């Protein structure tokens, strides 16, 4: 039976007893503790032990960090490549500790890796250290002249306190709990994990109810569309009304492209691949890190510049089917449909955003050997549809419209 994996991050020399008792606590709960001193971390002989610890963090479900009087060992330089400092700079309002990443400890780097990998972090600080942290915050200008009783080595005080400030000022997950006894940690985790489990169960129930409501609303909208279209007496007007509903997403997509002559959209009989080539688009590629970008897919032009598209590659296949159907309409109806949709305006941001930069240059820092290959439009359209699409094509048809 799978058990939650709890990675315990802290210095060992001063907090060894606390680590031992928390390990017993996790085991009593039926959880799987990960402590380096119990060989729970794979120490790959090909890497430094610090790197092995960092690589283990994303495999955990939760990270518990304990901050005491010691700074611990400074992380070896090779471990810095394991975290995205640029991403972490956006995660807190106080990033002073990140200004000198080469001076971070291995314990701090473990926690930063957890934040970078979106692993939940539960942070605890020795109450004496927390008290001195408040003193440090009030006296930063003369902090180097103050000997803080809770800190074992005065030269490490600033790095410990700035890391606490980073955790306290995170834009989410910024709860940092002082502790004087091990029972303080155990009681807090019991209450928090119990409440979190309860919240997840409630969110699941709420999601089921929202799905039912959305299904009901969707059915009602379909009934309204049918009723409105049936009241239109002219056959051509009915075709236009149906097409405005059916091809709105296609219109939004094509409106985001730059065509030398837009009449190819309203009058042309070409295939979808030729249509995109007319707009200069010849290749498709997944964007390396969609979190840092407007889109998920890049439509690359002949000159190397590209459009960012908010949808996945599969969306293009669905749009190509819509285009094949749309191209069978008369030029008069097609023109009216585009004008009608344009007059209605967009309900949100467009599907495409043009980038005049070269794709390889724009994403240079994020491209690596694991990046997806470039596909020609023809190669993309020949791909087998995703399993979920084949299993439930109606869902995707509705989404494309």
Q: Which tens digits make up the pLDDT trace of 192-205?
A: 999 999 999 998 88
Neighbours of 214 (CB within 10 A): 10
Of 73-82, 179-188, 210-219, 382-391, least confident by mean pLDDT is: 382-391
For residue 369, what pLDDT is reported?
Answer: 46
Cα(342)–Cα(102) distance, integer angstroms: 54
For residue 224, what pLDDT is reported?
Answer: 55
**How is residue 73 annotated by DSSP?**
P
Cα(330)–Cα(244) distance, integer angstroms: 14
Of 184-188, 251-255, 292-296, least confident by mean pLDDT is: 292-296
Cα(164)–Cα(169) distance, integer angstroms: 9
**How is residue 258 annotated by DSSP?**
-
Of 29-33, 163-167, 375-379, least confident by mean pLDDT is: 375-379
As beta bridge partners, residue 64 has 8, 122
Helix (H) or strand (E) holding 245: helix 235-246
DSSP string, 263-274: HHHHH----HHH
CATH placement of domain 5-180: 3.40.50
For residue 81, what pLDDT is reported?
Answer: 87
CB 183 within 8 A of CB 155: no
Helix (H) or strand (E) holding 377: helix 377-382
- Helix, strand, or coil (residue 307): strand
Of 106-110, 178-182, 232-236, 275-279, least confident by mean pLDDT is: 232-236
Of 3-17, 176-190, 311-325, 368-382, least confident by mean pLDDT is: 368-382
Alpha-carbon distance values, 221 to 214, 226, 233 (Å):
10, 9, 21
CB 109 within 8 A of CB 50: yes
For residue 396, what pLDDT is reported?
Answer: 38
Confidence of residue 400 (pLDDT cuts 50, 70, 90): very low
Q: How far is CA 281 from the centre of its chain?
A: 27
- Helix, strand, or coil (residue 68): coil
As beta bridge partners, residue 281 has 301
pLDDT, average across residues 70-81: 91
Cα(88)–Cα(158) distance, integer angstroms: 19
CB 109 within 8 A of CB 83: yes
pLDDT, average across residues 357-386: 71
CB 95 within 8 A of CB 40: no
For residue 20, what pLDDT is reported?
Answer: 96
Domain boundaries for CATH 3.40.50 within the chain: 5-180
CB 298 within 8 A of CB 307: yes
């Amino acid at each position: 039976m799978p058990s939650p994996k709890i990675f315990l991050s802290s210095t060992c020399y001063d907090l060894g007893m606390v680590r031992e008792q928390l390990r017993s606590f996790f085991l009593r709960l039926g959880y799987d503790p990960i402590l380096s001193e119990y060989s729970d971390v794979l120490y790959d002989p090909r890497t430094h032990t610090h790197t092995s610890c960092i690589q283990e963090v994303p495999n955990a479900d939760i990270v518990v960090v304990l901050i005491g009087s010691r700074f611990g060992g400074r992380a070896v330089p090779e471990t810095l490549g394991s975290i995205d400092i640029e991403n972490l700079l956006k995660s807190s309002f106080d990033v002073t500790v990140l200004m000198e990443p080469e001076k971070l400890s291995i314990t701090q780097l473990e926690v930063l890796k957890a934040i970078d990998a979106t692993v939940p972090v539960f942070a605890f600080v020795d109450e004496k250290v927390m008290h001195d942290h408040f003193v440090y915050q009030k006296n930063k200008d003369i902090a180097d002249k103050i000997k803080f009783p809770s800190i074992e080595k005065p030269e490490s005080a600033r790095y410990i306190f700035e890391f606490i400030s980073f955790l306290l000022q995170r834009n989410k997950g910024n709860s940092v709990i002082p502790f004087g006894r091990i029972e303080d940690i155990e009681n807090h985790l019991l209450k928090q994990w119990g409440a979190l489990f309860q919240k997840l169960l409630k969110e699941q129930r709420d999601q089921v109810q929202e799905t039912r409501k959305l299904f009901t609303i969707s059915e009602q909208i379909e009934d309204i569309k049918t009723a409105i279209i049936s009241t239109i007496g002219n056959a051509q007007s009915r075709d236009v009304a149906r097409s405005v509903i059916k091809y709105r997403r296609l219109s939004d997509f094509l409106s985001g492209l730059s065509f030398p002559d837009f009449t190819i959209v309203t009058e042309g009989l070409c295939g979808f691949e030729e249509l995109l080539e007319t707009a200069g688009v010849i290749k498709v590629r997944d964007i390396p890190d969609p979190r840092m970008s407007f889109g998920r897919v890049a439509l690359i032009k002949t000159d190397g510049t590209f459009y960012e598209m908010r949808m996945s590659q599969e969306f293009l296949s669905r749009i190509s089917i819509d285009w094949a159907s749309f191209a069978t309409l008369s030029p008069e109806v097609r023109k009216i449909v585009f004008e009608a949709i344009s007059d209605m305006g967009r309900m949100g941001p467009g599907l495409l955003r043009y980038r005049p930069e070269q794709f390889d240059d724009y994403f240079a820092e994020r491209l690596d050997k694991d990046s997806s290959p470039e596909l020609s439009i023809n190669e993309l359209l020949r791909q087998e549809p995703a399993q979920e699409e084949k299993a439930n094509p109606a869902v995707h048809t509705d989404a494309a419209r």
